């Protein structure tokens, strides 16, 4: 194992329920080595050596490589690193709960990828718009006369464009309502609101 990587992990890192891009972690590592006048590993060897320490790099859908379970301490002279929270599933969920969460998360990811600006497009909306949209979907999911509502306007309070209401079956309505709900909470977090619960 590399002595420089050992020193870096011991001095500048900590266990954390988050993940960091390997590129960013490597940049901090090289800065750490420079500050100690140590010779760093190459970028390729860095990734391989991380896995020897129990940190297995993984590639995401955008081609970025991340490592989970690690955080970088705020130390003088080292660059700051953005940490991505790791989704931990608490005890008490059933198999169908987890399957439902996977469906909703998959739909949200697809919606984000379908728009060039991703979440930035949501930030252009007025506060409360996403919350209302999610509520409309959920309140109409499973309604026995749901087909009475025209495509594009499920109710008088619908705030979005017609293409944002495309019901085909009750499950679609429930999934889309949950997606809008998550997007609404994310919108509020980006706006600086405190997360509750």
Structure tokens at 117: 């600006």
Considering the four listed CATH numbers 1.10.3720.10, 1.10.645.10, 3.40.50.12280, 1.10.10.10, the one that applies to the domain covering 3-85 is 1.10.10.10
Give the residue, 86 or 31, on which the prediction is more confident: 31
pTM of the model: 0.61
> What is the rounded CA–CA span in Å between residue 26 and residue 14?
15
Sheet holding 65-72, edge to edge: 58-59, 65-72, 13-21, 84-85
Element at 140 (helix H, strand E) = helix 129-140
Interval 158-196: pLDDT, tens = 777 766 666 667 778 889 899 999 999 988 888 888 766
Please, which residues bridge with residue 66 across strands? 21, 58
Domain extent listing, the chain:
3-85, 95-190
């Amino acid at each position: 194992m590399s002595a420089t990587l050992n020193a870096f992990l011991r001095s500048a890192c900590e266990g954390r329920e988050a993940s960091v891009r390997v590129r960013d972690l490597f940049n901090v590592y090289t800065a750490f080595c420079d500050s100690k006048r140590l010779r760093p590993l190459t970028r390729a060897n860095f990734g391989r050596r991380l896995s020897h320490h129990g940190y297995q790099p993984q590639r995401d859908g955008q081609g970025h490589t991340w490592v989970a379970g690690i955080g970088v301490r705020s130390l003088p002279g080292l660059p700051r690193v953005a940490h991505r929270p790791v989704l931990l599933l608490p005890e008490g969920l059933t198999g169908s709960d987890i399957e439902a969460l996977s469906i909703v998360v998959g739909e949200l990811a697809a919606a984000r990828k379908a728009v060039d600006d991703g979440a930035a497009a949501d930030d252009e909306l007025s506060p409360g718009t996403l919350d209302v949209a999610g509520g409309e979907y959920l309140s109409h999911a499973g309604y026995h006369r749901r087909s009475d509502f025209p495509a594009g306007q499920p109710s008088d309070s619908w705030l979005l464009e017609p293409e944002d209401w495309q019901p085909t079956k009750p499950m679609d309505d429930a999934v889309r309502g949950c997606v809008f709900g998550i997007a609404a909470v994310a919108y509020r977090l980006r706006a600086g609101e405190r997360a509750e619960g």
